[in-house]
Chain A
């Protein structure tokens, strides 16, 4: 069981800045995120896009903002459970919470801060009859272990980087790779596109474009798919696996069933005070929350995180008095033993 002071669900900008603000108050944080890396939307959706409304940065790339936030909170040694989705929450008799992920990892903390953005990123599933029946029976949306595909026939569909990259990789592992995309054009890194072209020319990848997978066939498990080019009749392709790679889309997911008040796909919080939800000890900050006048901006998430940490301090240190300290005056003492402080003024007489 992982134990911490504040358990943060969501490792996007708001979650990462919470680590820093909590650290100033000597509280330790652990973050859970469904994505395999920190940064949330900033690293998953638009790492190379500029943001213009981060105070003091006239322009910063979303990926760079993530890097800077990680650097800023580093001395407070946050723990991470990445690639796992927070699934259930259980209140303990001592008032603390245990949050368990979809992989069974357990986390215990007296305070939970949901900084979940738009929710956890889940694969987008093509709208095919019975696709759910074939999940884990030949259909997968994420490639976990490429060895599963060794000497097997694989059909991949999609036109982005992951479809291209996995087609290239699996062409060395699988006995047959077919790539199906709705257009002749692919959206991906230029060298991946060139590589797929080369593999197509040498017969290592079968390419069917512009076409769509229109049916899944198989009695107990996937045996074949049907691919249809526009205006033509469907073609049956024997295959062991079908991997649709259509990107990820965020879903509020299991958090919606935690007994929290939800409005407009977001968690209602008390914005007059501390961004606490209807369950004491559980806070919601950043894009995942809602209150009158809410703005889904990174800078608002930072503010909410800061106020939330004050309330968390009172839960973790009941009755203890606290007075705001400025980092410029007090410096920062990291949990890793480092200390940052303003250089002392030099006092020297001039004769």
Chain B
């Protein structure tokens, strides 16, 4: 049976949400944020998930093993604002069972 993973997401207003993210729908973190409407439409996932904007930038607060950063994500983050060493683009991180307990914080809107 497919399971959900529990993820903690701090939204742009600092509010913590504990949500269940399904692993069987090929969702990424950006899409999970949209699924639960944790950021207003039009402020996240603007490019649709192609690593071509940084509207889904988030800070990863735990040490979970995540998909390695690819060139396009790295290039986009190098032009984004408010970037920290733990910045990732949510759209490039697919939800997997290994992400149980992951904690992230959404970066401010640019």
Query: What does the 1/0 interface line of A100-130 toward B look like (CB < 8 Å)?
Result: 0000000000000000001100001011000
The reply to whether A246 and B79 contact each other, CB–CB distance below 8 Å, is yes
The reply to whether B46 and A250 contact each other, CB–CB distance below 8 Å, is yes
**B65 CB within 8 Å of chain A:** no
Could you tell me the distance between the alpha carbons of A250 and B110 in the complex, rounded to whole angstroms?
11
Total contacting residues, chain A, CB less than 8 A: 26
- Our pick among B42, B75, B110 for the contact of A159 (Cβ within 8 Å) is B75
- Our pick among B40, B46, B75, B83 for the contact of A249 (Cβ within 8 Å) is B46
The reply to whether A46 and B50 contact each other, CB–CB distance below 8 Å, is yes
Residue of B nearest to A264 (CB): B41
User: With a CB–CB cut-off of 8 A, which chain A residues contact B78?
Assistant: 159, 181-183, 185, 187
Q: A124-B110, A160-B79 are in contact. Are A252 and B42 (CB under 8 A)?
A: yes
The reply to whether A265 and B79 contact each other, CB–CB distance below 8 Å, is no
User: With a CB–CB cut-off of 8 A, which chain A residues contact B3?
Assistant: none
User: With a CB–CB cut-off of 8 A, which chain B residues contact A158?
Assistant: 79
- Our pick among B42, B52, B79 for the contact of A264 (Cβ within 8 Å) is B42
Instruction: Count A-B pairs with CB separation below 8 Å.
Output: 58
The reply to whether B40 and A45 contact each other, CB–CB distance below 8 Å, is no
Q: A124-B110, A264-B41 are in contact. Are A182 and B46 (CB under 8 A)?
A: no
Total contacting residues, chain B, CB less than 8 A: 19
The reply to whether B79 and A266 contact each other, CB–CB distance below 8 Å, is no
Could you tell me the distance between the alpha carbons of A118 and B55 in the complex, rounded to whole angstroms?
13
Could you tell me the distance between the alpha carbons of A45 and B52 in the complex, rounded to whole angstroms?
7
**B86 CB within 8 Å of chain A:** no
**B93 CB within 8 Å of chain A:** no
CB distance from A179 to the nearest CB of B (A): 13
Could you tell me the distance between the alpha carbons of A288 and B74 in the complex, rounded to whole angstroms?
30
User: With a CB–CB cut-off of 8 A, which chain B residues contact A118?
Assistant: 42, 46
User: With a CB–CB cut-off of 8 A, which chain B residues contact A124?
Assistant: 81, 110
Could you tell me the distance between the alpha carbons of A185 and B72 in the complex, rounded to whole angstroms?
11
User: With a CB–CB cut-off of 8 A, which chain A residues contact B72?
Assistant: 187
**A247 CB within 8 Å of chain B:** yes
Q: A45-B47, A46-B52, A185-B75 are in contact. Are A127 and B81 (CB under 8 A)?
A: yes
The reply to whether A187 and B52 contact each other, CB–CB distance below 8 Å, is no
**A49 CB within 8 Å of chain B:** yes
Interface centre among A124, A158, A266, A290 (most CB of B within 10 A): A124
Residue of B nearest to A181 (CB): B78
Residue of A nearest to B47 (CB): A45
**B5 CB within 8 Å of chain A:** no
Could you tell me the distance between the alpha carbons of A127 and B81 in the complex, rounded to whole angstroms?
7
User: With a CB–CB cut-off of 8 A, which chain B residues contact A41?
Assistant: 47
A sample of 10 cross-chain residue pairs with beta-carbon separation below 8 angstroms, ordered by A number, consists of: A41-B47, A46-B47, A159-B75, A160-B75, A182-B78, A182-B79, A185-B74, A247-B53, A249-B46, A249-B110
6 additional contacts (CB under 8 A) given A182-B83, A183-B75: A46-B52, A160-B79, A246-B81, A249-B53, A249-B110, A290-B41
